Amino acid sequence: MTVDQKEKPKGERIAKLLARAGVASRREVERMIEAGRITLNGEPVTTPATLILDTRGVRVDGKPVRRAEPARLWRYHKARGVVTTSRDERGRETLFDRLPPGLPRVVTVGRLDLNSEGLILLTNDGALARAMELPSTGWLRKYRVRVHGAVDEAALEKLAHGAIVDGIAYGPITAKLERRQGANAWLTMGLREGKNREIRKVLASLGLKVNRLIRTSYGDFDLGKLPPGAAAEVAAATVEKLNRRLAAPTPRRRRG
């Protein structure tokens, strides 16, 4: 039998399949395997590379894992003052405390900080969430930002070449003045990296204080007129196409 004739391994990596089944993110599943919390047909799973066809015989902490459902995706309008994590050590209200009834277990695609609002994507597929978050995906995130201070439009234009703030390098950011409103102004901004509090830090370096930040889109998906706290499911055909697209090799983007 030649190399080309060898049969390909059957099944998927257990970490990937359990992420899609909604157990946890792929990385968290790997940690669960290291901790001996996952078994297959009664035997401990020792590597996340273990191949399985489905979740039959798989148990987490002794409990059987439900069959992986098809990937689903929702647009959700996060309100200001709500944290994105599933649990908050300070006891603050989380996004998951406010989810509409009837949703399955979901994870967020990326985050918005406490005082930011707008579009968050939710999915029951941990592997899909991770693929959408990867820097290599390079999805554009758009925002409307209200700032206090004197806006220098020339300084905003320079952000298209990136910025360095407190020793941290940020990629290209599009930023335009939308309108002035007394001592405040509204900006429209777009970026692809989305580092921690990136917009707030970059604008602070220009002498501008952000007092409202709304994410209006993430990649192909827009907030639209979705009210705060509401969720709208994305069509299954769209999610299927998205999965295929993310699984395909991504050509390298030129920087700048």
Domain coordinates of the chain in residue numbers? 12-64, 73-136+220-247, 140-218
Asked if residue 105 lies in contact with residue 63, where contact means CB atoms within 8 angstroms, the answer is no
pLDDT the model gives residue 252: 52
Per-residue pLDDT, 5? 47
Known catalytic residue: 113?
A: yes
Distance from C-alpha of 31 to C-alpha of 206, rounded to nearest angstrom:
41
Fold match flag (73-136+220-247 vs 140-218): yes
Task: Write the pLDDT tens digit of every residue in 67-95.
Answer: 777 889 999 999 999 999 877 788 888 99
Q: Which helix (H) or strand (E) holds 240?
A: helix 236-247
Cα→Cα distances 25→107, 143, 162, 225, Å: 8, 27, 31, 30
Residue corresponding to tokens 């705060």: 228
Structure tokens at 244: 């295929």
CATH number of this structure's domain 12-64? 3.10.290.10
- Reported CATH class of domain 140-218: alpha beta
Catalytic pick among 4, 88, 97, 113 = 113
pTM equals 0.77
CA 205 to CA 32: how far, in whole Å? 41
**pLDDT < 70 regions, the chain:** 1-9, 248-256
Identify the CA nearest to 11 among candidates 50, 68, 69, 65: 50
Give me the architecture of the 73-136+220-247 domain, per CATH. 2-Layer Sandwich (3.30)
Q: What share of residues in the chain are helix, strand, coil (percent, to 5)?
A: 25, 30, 45
Cα(190)–Cα(197) distance, integer angstroms = 14
